[in-house]
């Protein structure tokens, strides 16, 4: 609820005394003048690589983590430690133009902080946008703000958005306040229960009452160049005692959960030095021995950026490190990947032996999985856009389905980057082509029960013969980062999930009617699985990226949000992992020792990876040993490690979910894990 604004003038001493409490000696929980940090950039131009890679450049520095950036490289270089007038400051150097739905932010603290006082000394260098403090920060889309905007002091509540790029903001209080660029101000905010009191030294005070956020971290926020010279967070003795007890209970709960779950132990290690890559592996039995092998694809980018990318080298290996075959020339400088390219492992002709199907040099090639010998090939489809660089497409991805009703996935779907899709038979003959906003990766499902797959491509559903059944392209503006069709509850018909980039996340029925639409920021990489036994049906978890990195949102089977958190400010694949053999699955956030781990349906880190020097850039989840439970593959361009459980093999009846087929493995897949059990 909104409160009446009051303005008073007081000294900083009197204000701080009133705001903290009557306690003579408050407990300081954060006191940072940035002098212990090296003078350098603390936010790096990591780009789309951090959508599904863990990079040390994105890790916290000291007390602080970069919470937001846009695709523009300048915004990724926003925060740096430097000197101003002889003192160390945290500088924000980027000028954000427009886009009121996000703000450069640097976050610190503990989500359990409840009643506290935060004092910040800062000097905006211009009057561009907002500058000040975010407090009771839930995530970078849900928080309170106090600070400058134009010639006003403002106290705001931000809670997601009401529509695309339309932030849902409430003015709790505001007042005119003249100020000068480059002049240092001292702002103090105190929160106690639902009461908020905020003011500046020798300036006005704003008061409000609002119960929306009862706890949360703090963040520095600046839309334009600004210097922050000190940050202090203090609590009364009672508030600190309560926080300490809650923190201890949280840590005890996490320790209990982690002790109850199997520990990851190394099963295999293989070197990929010189021919390795980031998240561009495929998995399947290549040599017909019944064991899972790995296919490593290096990439060449023709530019601009990753718009035109294709394979440059393929290396087929066993998990014992034996190279089965290779095509193309390996190059250690071609390990950087921020998109899909066309290559997969699949038994295309259903003869019991896998082929490798890939795109290279404007050809679709079908090769023997064991030897790499080309069996047959055909030119890729011709370009349908006047502004395309090449006469034929390179092949943005490959997807397999059954649109002919043969009983196995003998059809190939190939697409360009965002606009067109082609359907082929197993001999690479064209069956049909279509146009839509394709998004990144399709999903197949027999929606009408005729034995042939329908195809969800972005926000469009195609019949098996290519007929457009319906499309939401005229309603949803941003591209689709992930689509899936699933029966979320046994008593419900299948529904369609769309991770819609800046449009958030929405669910439709099979006729295209939108059931729920949540403007939760740039949503991608969703996963559907049984993450909680106490809720009926299947749950959904999604993660955010551009301008909103790291926010996890959880939804029940009725598509109602039930939890959100922001454990790490970077992207992830959120891959379901059957780690225990029990019916509740976890998902992997990243393999990093400090920030990663396996998380449960409450957003708790229930399995940590050992501190053993393993690579932590990439991860994949699949059952390699064949015992129903999953292994976790972690890697970087130099090496691949495989983790299994320390109690493996585990006897008895085990959970054995049905997953997206390995032949449709993608950086943009929406993961679906349907319940099942071993015999």
Structure-block tokens of residue 624? 């390699």
Angle at 415 between CA 413 and CA 416, to 5 degrees: 170
Average pLDDT over every residue of 329-339? 90
Structure-block tokens of residue 275? 């021919």
Whole-angstrom distance, CA of residue 320 vs CA of residue 309? 30
401-447 pLDDT, tens per residue?
999 999 999 999 999 988 999 999 999 999 999 999 999 999 999 99
Helix, strand and coil content of the chain, in percent to the nearest 5, comes to 5, 45, 50
For 605, the 3-state DSSP assignment is strand
8 Å CB contact between 486 and 673 = no
Q: How far is CA 568 from CA 77, 299, 549, 563, 597, in A?
A: 19, 28, 8, 16, 11
Whole-angstrom distance, CA of residue 556 vs CA of residue 596? 24
Whether residue 236 is predicted with pLDDT greater than 90 in this model: the reply is yes
8 Å CB contact between 405 and 465 = no
301-318 pLDDT, tens per residue?
988 888 888 999 999 999
370-396 pLDDT, tens per residue?
999 999 999 999 988 878 888 999 999
Q: What pLDDT score does 24 carry?
A: 57
Whether residue 12 is predicted with pLDDT greater than 80 in this model: the reply is no
Query: Over the range 232-257, which residues count as b (16 or more CB within 10 Å of their CB) and which as e?
Result: bbbbbeebbeebeebeeeeeeeeeee
Nearest CA to 301 out of 271, 280, 273, 322 is that of 280
Whether residue 593 is predicted with pLDDT greater than 80 in this model: the reply is yes
94-131 pLDDT, tens per residue?
999 989 999 999 999 999 999 999 999 999 999 999 99
Query: Over the range 430-449, which residues count as b (16 or more CB within 10 Å of their CB) and which as e?
Result: ebeebebbbbbbbbbbbbee
Whole-angstrom distance, CA of residue 514 vs CA of residue 506? 7
**Which residues share a beta bridge with 234?**
28, 117
Angle at 352 between CA 347 and CA 358, to 5 degrees: 20
Whole-angstrom distance, CA of residue 62 vs CA of residue 64? 6
Q: What pLDDT score does 4 carry?
A: 37
Whether residue 360 is predicted with pLDDT greater than 60 in this model: the reply is yes
Burial of 83 (0-12, 13-18, 19+ CB in 10 A): exposed
Q: What pLDDT score does 2 carry?
A: 37
Average pLDDT over every residue of 166-177? 97
Whole-angstrom distance, CA of residue 586 vs CA of residue 579? 7
Nearest CA to 587 out of 184, 52, 152, 1 is that of 52
- What is the percent of the chain with per-residue pLDDT over 90, rounded to a whole number? 88
Whether residue 17 is predicted with pLDDT greater than 60 in this model: the reply is no
Q: What pLDDT score does 388 carry?
A: 85
Q: What pLDDT score does 1 carry?
A: 36
pTM of the model: 0.94
Q: How confident is the model at residue 679 (pLDDT cuts 50, 70, 90)?
A: confident
Q: Which of the two residues, 9 and 639, has the higher pLDDT score?
A: 639
8 Å CB contact between 601 and 584 = yes
The sign of the torsion formed by the CA atoms of 254, 255, 261, 266 equals: positive
Q: What pLDDT score does 43 carry?
A: 86
8 Å CB contact between 20 and 13 = no
8 Å CB contact between 625 and 632 = no
8 Å CB contact between 616 and 590 = yes
């Amino acid at each position: 609820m909104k409160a009446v604004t009051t303005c008073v003038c007081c000294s900083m001493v009197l204000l701080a005394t009133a705001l903290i409490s009557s306690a003579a000696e408050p407990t300081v929980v954060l006191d940072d003048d940035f002098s212990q940090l090296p003078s350098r950039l603390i936010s790096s131009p990591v780009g789309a690589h951090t959508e599904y890679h863990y990079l040390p450049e994105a890790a916290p520095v000291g007390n602080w983590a970069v919470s937001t950036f846009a695709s523009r490289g300048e915004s990724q270089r926003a925060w740096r430690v430097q000197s101003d007038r002889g003192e160390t400051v945290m500088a924000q150097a980027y000028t954000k133009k427009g886009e009121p739905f996000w703000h450069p932010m640097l976050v610190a603290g503990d989500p359990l902080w409840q009643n506290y006082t935060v004092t910040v000394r800062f000097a905006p260098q211009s009057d561009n946008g907002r500058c000040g403090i975010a407090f009771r920060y839930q995530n970078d889309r849900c928080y309170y703000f106090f600070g400058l905007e134009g010639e006003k002091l403002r106290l705001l509540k931000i809670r997601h958005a009401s529509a695309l790029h339309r932030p849902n903001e409430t003015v709790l209080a505001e007042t005119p306040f003249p100020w000068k660029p480059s002049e240092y101000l001292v702002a103090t905010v105190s929160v106690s229960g639902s009461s908020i009191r905020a003011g500046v030294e020798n300036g006005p005070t704003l008061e409000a009452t609002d119960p929306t956020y009862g706890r949360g971290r703090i963040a520095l926020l600046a839309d334009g160049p600004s210097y922050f010279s000190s940050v202090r967070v203090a609590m009364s003795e009672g508030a600190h005692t309560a926080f300490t007890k809650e923190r201890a209970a949280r840590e005890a709960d996490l320790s209990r959960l982690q002790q109850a779950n199997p520990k990851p132990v190394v099963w295999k290690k293989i070197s990929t030095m010189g021919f390795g890559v980031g998240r561009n592996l495929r998995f399947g039995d290549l040599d017909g021995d019944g064991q899972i092998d790995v296919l490593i694809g290096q990439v060449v980018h023709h530019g601009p950026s990753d718009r035109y990318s294709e394979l440059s080298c393929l290396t087929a290996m066993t998990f014992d490190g034996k190279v089965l075959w290779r095509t193309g020339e390996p190059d250690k400088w071609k390990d950087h990947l921020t998109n899909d390219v066309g290559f997969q492992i699949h038994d295309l002709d259903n003869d019991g032996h896998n082929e490798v199907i890939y795109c290279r040099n404007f050809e679709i090639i079908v090769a023997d999985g064991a030897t790499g010998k080309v069996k047959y090939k055909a030119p890729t489809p011709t370009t349908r856009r006047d502004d395309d660089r090449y006469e034929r497409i390179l092949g943005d991805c490959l997807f397999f389905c059954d649109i002919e009703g043969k009983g196995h996935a003998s059809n190939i779907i190939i697409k360009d980057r965002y606009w067109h899709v082609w359907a082929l038979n197993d001999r690479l003959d064209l069956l049909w082509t279509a146009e839509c906003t394709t998004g990144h990766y399709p999903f197949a499902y027999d929606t009408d029960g005729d034995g042939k797959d329908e195809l969800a491509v972005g926000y469009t559903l195609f019949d098996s013969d290519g007929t457009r059944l319906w499309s939401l392209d005229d309603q949803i503006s941003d591209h689709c980062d992930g689509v899936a069709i699933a029966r979320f509850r046994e008593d419900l018909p299948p529904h369609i999930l769309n991770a819609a980039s800046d449009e958030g996340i929405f669910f439709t029925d099979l006729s295209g009617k939108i059931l729920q639409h949540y403007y939760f920021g740039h949503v991608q990489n969703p996963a559907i699985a049984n993450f909680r036994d106490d809720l009926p049906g299947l749950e959904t978890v999604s993660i955010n990226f551009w301008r909103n990195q790291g926010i996890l949102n959880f939804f029940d089977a009725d598509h109602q949000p039930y939890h959100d958190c922001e454990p790490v400010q970077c992207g992830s694949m959120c891959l379901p992992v059957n780690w225990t053999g029990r019916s509740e699955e976890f998902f992997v956030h990243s393999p990093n020792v400090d920030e990663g781990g396996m998380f449960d349906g409450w957003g708790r880190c229930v399995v940590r990876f050992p501190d053993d020097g393993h690579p932590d850039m990439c991860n994949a989840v699949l059952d390699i040993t064949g015992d129903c439970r999953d292994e976790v593959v972690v890697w970087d361009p130099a090496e691949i490690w495989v983790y299994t459980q320390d109690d493996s093999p585990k006897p008895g009846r085990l959970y054995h979910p049905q997953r997206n087929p390995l032949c449709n493995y993608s950086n943009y897949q929406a993961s679906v894990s349907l319940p099942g059990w071993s015999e």
